[in-house]
Structure 1
Amino acid sequence: MLFGVIGVFISFAVISTGSWYLFPKLGLNLSMRDILAIGVIFSATDSVCTLQVLNQDETPLLYSLVFGEGVVNDATSVVLFRAVQSYNFDRFSPLEDLQIGCNFLYLFSSSCILGIASGLISAYIIKTMYFGRHSTDREIAIMILMAYLSYILAELFYLSGILSVFFCGIVMSHYTWHNVTENSRTTTRHSFATMSFIAETFIFLYVGMDALDLDKWKTTQSSFKESAGLFGSLMCLILLGRAAFVFPLSALSNYSTKSPGAKINLRQMIIIWWAGLMRGAVSIALAFNQFTQGGDAKTSKQATSMVTTINIVLFSTIVFGTATKPLISWLLPPHLRSNYGDSAGLSPKVSLDVDFHMPLLMDTEHDGNGTNDRTVISQILHGLPRPQSIGMLLTAPRSTIHYVWRKFDDAYMRPMFGGRGYVRLMSRRSMDIPEENEDLEDEDQN
């Protein structure tokens, strides 16, 4: 939340201010609404390339920071973009400036509430109404339709559909997903991953084809020098805006964190900064929404803005994305990473299977010998400690809010909406161990 929300506002302020100062000098005179829209458009990041290189078992803290910022950043950017579009620039005054903040808070909170409500309703339906129980088709249909319903309702009430679906997905993964059968879980996992990959591929194909649209290049009246100046200026503003919040907020986080393992070192700060330099689908979608009518740029200014956006997305994705793996290998060589998974002799798939069956914000009940449920499960499965992963970051409460939420969730939410309860027993049936893990256990016993 620190990088994904506050960071967006800092980056938005830097890019908007720089664009307002530099664009007129480069021959592009845009309205204040367009200037602020550009600030939002280029504050939306795409950290997919970095996530594909990072390993959550080797660098759990870094992976969780990059992943968390990526999902929250996109949702925050869309909500802030809606707030900018709804702002009345005819009455520009310090008092009216608060309208952007108020609109953002209204859209953000309303979209979150709508998404959470949709997710809870889906969990309650699948848990209490047995017409879909043990029917993979019906269970998957309910999950998809309820997620789509949250998006449709958000758009109907002029809220953020992306943010609503995002929070609906969080709630459904915490409650609904654990109420369905194992076949439904496997099917939904692979189905949504496939649809996500196809959608992302289609978007980048569209961007690549749109870059070859000669009409846009003919509509823009900027010279090559002016276009190069706009491109270079925006790239510098993106780099500066990214650095303006990553390093200060990381230092602030380190200052307020007591645990040495939760502190962010300089190498990790650089990787986090680099991970947010790529621009992707959200930037393209917002640019088309702001600078086109029916997919076509009607004026020279709109065409110039669209061409510049497409060039930055292509350049950042190809150049920065290609350099991501060598950079991470240089900053985080193998001897600096946490190789707990390799040292324990566990395969990544086994580690993922065990982690996937652990509930979110899982409670850790300690026995008299100081061991907890996670340790006992690991010893049952393999007789060895589990590798470090993102779930290990939530092993014990780190704040009062975390502790209170887990108690409230265990006492009230799970009994009503279902979901996998906290692991409390050791039997194979109650732990729902996958068949692959059962085979491993049998081999160990033999």
Structure 2
Amino acid sequence: MGVNLGALVLKSAGLSVSDYASVVSINLFVALLCACIVLGHLLEENRWVNESITALIIGLCTGVVILLTTKGKSSHILVFSEDLFFIYLLPPIIFNAGFQVKKKQFFRNFMTITLFGAVGTMISFFTISLAAIAIFSRMNIGTLDVGDFLAIGAIFSATDSVCTLQVLNQDETPLLYSLVFGEGVVNDATSVVLFNALQNFDLVHIDVAVVLKFLGNFIYLFLSSTFLGAFTGLLSAYIIKKLYIGRHSTDREVALMMLMAYLSYMLAELLDLSGILTVFFCGIVMSHYTWHNVTESSRVTTKHAFATLSFIAETFLFLYVGMDALDIEKWKFASDSPGKSIGISSILLGLVLVGRAAFVFPLSFLSNLTKKTPYEKITWRQQIVIWWAGLMRGAVSIALAYNKFARSGHTQLHGNALMITSTITVVPFSTMVFGMMTKPLIRLLLPASSNAVTSEPSSPSLHSPLLTSMQGSDLETAAHIVRPSSLRMLLTKPTHTVHYYWRKFDNALMRPMFGGRGFVPFSPGSPAEQSVHGERLTLQINEIF
């Protein structure tokens, strides 16, 4: 597309043909990103289309145009890279999700989220894997072995937590948002851990000891990744609190927060842990401690900077996924059997539906058995929305498929090409169809009035003081409420009881050491002076985390 002419024009400037082609590609991609932002703004109030679907459609249209202009030689501007996705694009998205998430709702449902994200992913993995072995082994689709079929289970068990941010609103549906998105983060981490473990898994000698070792390794990765993220967040809070860098430069505060967040992700990858979990919990800890230790201007800057980086990365991903769906090289190897390719994609889509239903409804039933009050239980309508909203598959699935079935983005094996083309068919289809239908489905099943009633308690209960930050005289005011014993509270309200004692521990030890709201040291020009204007520091009643 004019590369030779451009090379002649820019030859005097010292740019080679490849350099010029890269400049053209980057310019075109940046222009497409701008177009996505503008169209996303124009479609802001649309009940069917959101920005992720807009980027996906623009990517598809751009792929068609490139195919026509290059006479069928290429469909995308940039070559898909797993490193680009996992190292540069995914960290800001997951970190911002942890930084912005409503921690009260997230930790209130933490056990359910972990149940869905870890146990549910394992159920979905086994369901899809066993069905793939039973069905695909009879279809003569190439030289695929048991390890490939198990990898398919891990690939299509990974939900698209990025698109969840677009189709669900944590202000309108806080319970659903915390469950679906929280599950998505744990699900992505579980799927990646499963996928990596299968690469070195001995499929010949499988016994109980190997399975137990695998489960033990998963628990170790989950706990270690969470600890590393929390440790990095606390370290950033301690450094900024003690040195108070904002006295001289707010830019250094912002830069330190960004770099330490990214450092947590890279350390996790270096130590073979889950970078997704690490950077997510790093974001949670930073928003709880570090963010309150910086100056007021740095708070505004970091909040918008993290959200902007996340937004650009999300748009970039969906734009590229749209173009990659028309990758002509992969379709050439699968073109001799288009009916088989469509059949495989349809089967995989059906397995995604069945695999998610296999754990959402049974685990919701088990979760409801532990809930004492009706508002805490997951209703049947909410279960349907949770099932539907988690059917979307995204860039994690594509990255894992390329990792398994391609080498440097290329493949010449018929079976591998079929798996990749099926993946890049299922991902855009599920994102557009399920994504477009999620908001209307929520409006149909969960009207605003009923959702408001079921997501939060309507009246104070005996345990209401456990969900506040009351301290000192505030607690004395509420002393007329007779609380049951600690053991009884733990048995009847385990989540609220753990939260109550965590608040006491946080106020007594963590905040004085690492900072946070109410414990920022007062000094001229400090955040304390700007936020309270010289008044004594107090804890705000409604600040839960």
Q: TM-score with structure 1 length normalisation? A: 0.79
The structure-2 alpha-carbon separation of the partners of 1:128 and 1:433, relative to structure 1 and needing over 3 Å to count, comes to: closer
1:291 is the counterpart of 2:405: yes
Partner of 1:95: 209
Which one-letter code corresponds to 2:273 in the other structure? L
Report if the CA contact (8 A) 2:371-2:377 is conserved.
yes
Which one-letter code corresponds to 2:514 in the other structure? F
Partner of 2:469: 363
Which one-letter code corresponds to 1:400 in the other structure? T
1:404 is the counterpart of 2:404: no
The structure-2 alpha-carbon separation of the partners of 1:298 and 1:109, relative to structure 1 and needing over 3 Å to count, comes to: farther
Which one-letter code corresponds to 2:450 in the other structure? L
The structure-2 alpha-carbon separation of the partners of 1:103 and 1:302, relative to structure 1 and needing over 3 Å to count, comes to: farther
Deviations 1:58-91 (A, max 9, x none): 4332232223222222222222222222323353
Report if the CA contact (8 A) 2:233-2:290 is conserved.
yes
Q: How does 1:21-420 map to 2 (within 5 A)?
A: 21-28=134-141, 29-49=143-163, 51-133=165-247, 135-220=249-334, 223-338=337-452, 363-365=469-471, 366-367=474-475, 370=478, 398-420=495-517
Residues in 1 aligned to 2:134 and 2:367: alpha-carbon distance in whole angstroms: 32
Query: Offset of 1:362 from its aligned partner?
Result: 5.4
Residues in 1 aligned to 2:354 and 2:197: alpha-carbon distance in whole angstroms: 24
Residues in 2 aligned to 1:261 and 1:422: alpha-carbon distance in whole angstroms: 34
Which one-letter code corresponds to 2:228 in the other structure? L
The structure-2 alpha-carbon separation of the partners of 1:74 and 1:433, relative to structure 1 and needing over 3 Å to count, comes to: farther
Residues in 1 aligned to 2:248 and 2:436: alpha-carbon distance in whole angstroms: 45
The structure-2 alpha-carbon separation of the partners of 1:133 and 1:290, relative to structure 1 and needing over 3 Å to count, comes to: farther
Query: Offset of 1:398 from its aligned partner?
Result: 3.6
Residues in 1 aligned to 2:429 and 2:507: alpha-carbon distance in whole angstroms: 48
Query: Offset of 1:48 from its aligned partner?
Result: 5.0
Query: Offset of 1:177 from its aligned partner?
Result: 1.4
> What runs of 5+ residues in structure 2 fail to find an aligned partner?
1-113, 455-466, 481-492, 521-527, 534-545
Residues in 1 aligned to 2:532 and 2:162: alpha-carbon distance in whole angstroms: 31
Report if the CA contact (8 A) 1:50-1:324 is conserved.
no
Query: Offset of 1:30 from its aligned partner?
Result: 2.0
Deviations 1:400-427 (A, max 9, x none): 332332222222211111112499xxxx
Residues in 2 aligned to 1:188 and 1:321: alpha-carbon distance in whole angstroms: 29
> What runs of 5+ residues in structure 1 fail to find an aligned partner?
341-360, 373-395, 424-428, 435-446
Report if the CA contact (8 A) 1:33-1:89 is conserved.
yes
Residues in 1 aligned to 2:140 and 2:432: alpha-carbon distance in whole angstroms: 28
Task: Quote the sequence identity (%).
Answer: 61
Deviations 1:348-393 (A, max 9, x none): xxxxxxxxxxxxx752344566599xxxxxxxxxxxxxxxxxxxxx
Query: Offset of 1:133 from its aligned partner?
Result: 4.0
Residues in 1 aligned to 2:505 and 2:350: alpha-carbon distance in whole angstroms: 47
Report if the CA contact (8 A) 1:58-1:339 is conserved.
no
Which one-letter code corresponds to 1:329 in the other structure? R
The structure-2 alpha-carbon separation of the partners of 1:159 and 1:187, relative to structure 1 and needing over 3 Å to count, comes to: same
Which one-letter code corresponds to 1:46 in the other structure? D
Residues in 2 aligned to 1:87 and 1:167: alpha-carbon distance in whole angstroms: 29
Which one-letter code corresponds to 1:415 in the other structure? P
The structure-2 alpha-carbon separation of the partners of 1:402 and 1:234, relative to structure 1 and needing over 3 Å to count, comes to: same
Which one-letter code corresponds to 2:318 in the other structure? F
Deviations 1:256-297 (A, max 9, x none): 100221111111010000010001121122222222211212
Residues in 2 aligned to 1:364 and 1:9: alpha-carbon distance in whole angstroms: 40
Deviations 1:160-183 (A, max 9, x none): 222221222222122111111121
Residues in 2 aligned to 1:417 and 1:362: alpha-carbon distance in whole angstroms: 21
Residues in 1 aligned to 2:532 and 2:434: alpha-carbon distance in whole angstroms: 41
Residues in 2 aligned to 1:199 and 1:252: alpha-carbon distance in whole angstroms: 37
The structure-2 alpha-carbon separation of the partners of 1:149 and 1:51, relative to structure 1 and needing over 3 Å to count, comes to: closer
The structure-2 alpha-carbon separation of the partners of 1:170 and 1:228, relative to structure 1 and needing over 3 Å to count, comes to: same
The structure with the larger Rg is 2
* Deviating more after overlay: 201-210 vs 105-114: 105-114
Q: TM-score with structure 2 length normalisation? A: 0.65
Could you say what secondary structure the match of 1:272 adopts? Answer: helix
Could you say what secondary structure the match of 2:452 adopts? Answer: coil
Which one-letter code corresponds to 2:430 in the other structure? S
* Deviating more after overlay: 401-410 vs 249-258: 401-410
Q: Which runs of 4+ in 1 moved over 6 A?
A: none
Residues in 1 aligned to 2:273 and 2:323: alpha-carbon distance in whole angstroms: 31
Could you say what secondary structure the match of 1:26 adopts? Answer: coil
The structure-2 alpha-carbon separation of the partners of 1:221 and 1:116, relative to structure 1 and needing over 3 Å to count, comes to: same
Residues in 2 aligned to 1:279 and 1:272: alpha-carbon distance in whole angstroms: 14
Residues in 2 aligned to 1:433 and 1:22: alpha-carbon distance in whole angstroms: 65
Which one-letter code corresponds to 1:295 in the other structure? G
The structure-2 alpha-carbon separation of the partners of 1:433 and 1:52, relative to structure 1 and needing over 3 Å to count, comes to: farther
Could you say what secondary structure the match of 2:137 adopts? Answer: helix
Partner of 2:81: none
Residues in 1 aligned to 2:532 and 2:180: alpha-carbon distance in whole angstroms: 30
